[in-house]
Structure 1
Amino acid sequence: MTADATDHTTRPWPLWMLRYVGSDDPEAFDDLIWSVGGSPPWGGVSYEEAAAVYELLEDYSGPGRASDTSYAAVRKFLAPRSAATTALEIFRCLDDVHSDPEDYELGTANRGVELCREAGDRGAEATFLSFQAGWHVRGGDHAAARTLTLAALEVYLELADGDEVYEQRVRQSAANAISLTAMAGDLPGARDLFTSLAELLDDDTAEELRRSLRRAR
């Protein structure tokens, strides 16, 4: 599911929420804010529902997790097991990870993947694959993290062709995949991967990785 810039006001907030989850891009967050902050709210959403989502986003932007009260205020407008409810739960998983990036649980990332597959949103799923990778990095399993990162990169590359908000995810995932391959002890593989992915990197990151791979033994 991707945002259609030519018809954006017909799309309600759950689409824009999942696009932000998938991209972690400031422009995508601005679009999410506008989807509920405009007059009228996009996609035929009521002013009351839009206000509740807007307050949740304000709460999310502050320190720590958004409150249970903020999530409950949105949920009361949503049908159980609806696409909007699933999007909200995916966002809550994101909130949990962002609020504790150094110590989030694997179960949170796993639940995010499951919910994203239920929603059919590959970009958001790739984000939680990246979170799974981050958890494996903390445990020292760089090979597992590399596999997950490459899977996420494949998705981001596809999505970035149609929506530029995913381009930063491409750059991040490409750099991480190269570094993780080296950290897993496969220096020839890391160098080969660098050769194939270098054009996806920004200049400073490419130069840093090039020097690091040259020094490695």
Structure 2
Amino acid sequence: MSSGSDRRAFVQFALDEGVLRFGSFVTKSGRTSPYFFNAGLFNRGRSVGRLAQFYAQALINAGVSFDMMFGPAYKGIPLATATAVALASHPAMSGRDVPFAYNRKEVKDHGEGGVLVGAPLQGKVVIIDDVITAGTSVRESVDIIRAAGAEPAAVLIAMDRMERAGAEGALSPHSAVQEVQNLYGLPVISIASLDDIMALLRERHDFAQYQDAVTTYRDRYGIKA
């Protein structure tokens, strides 16, 4: 887990970049959410470089043993690439040059062929993505890594919404993140979470107008402590 200052700095960074917004948004699950986190808006060189530094620091803080990064297509591809760069220059890595790989959505039938691009999958592999919504990309990634004879070591994400999975009226007692942890026995490391967004709303008077709506949403869909 990131330190408190890292998590708070990341939430502020996401706000500054327009990645975290408050208002009224319909999510992929059909819920109307008072906040929206869209990591796809980290779309410039400087912002992606800073994002990768946050990912690298969160992974190092977690103390997980790992050998390489894997980015599931498509969002995970630039994340794995940039984070491997950030790790290579991080002082805690003592000069380790971290390899990375990613998959294609379509099998290539020429050149090197196959669905994998990058370094060979081996050792302990960290799967990196923006969020976990349904866990589909994690499942596919775990299958790919194990099929190559490597070992999934952790899942690294930017934001944990701490939100219960399932349809209205049939909500799971667990969040999508918790279900991944329970199903695969893998730690899920997040740079920040809804707790950190709530902390910002309590501290920032200019965002106080959104606090009640986010609290109500969390009371309805949030995981139970």
Compare relative contact order (CA 8 Å, sep 6+) and give the higher one, 1 or 2: 2
Larger Rg: 1
Higher helix share: 1
Q: TM-score, normalised by structure 2?
A: 0.31
Higher strand share: 2
Q: TM-score, normalised by structure 1?
A: 0.31
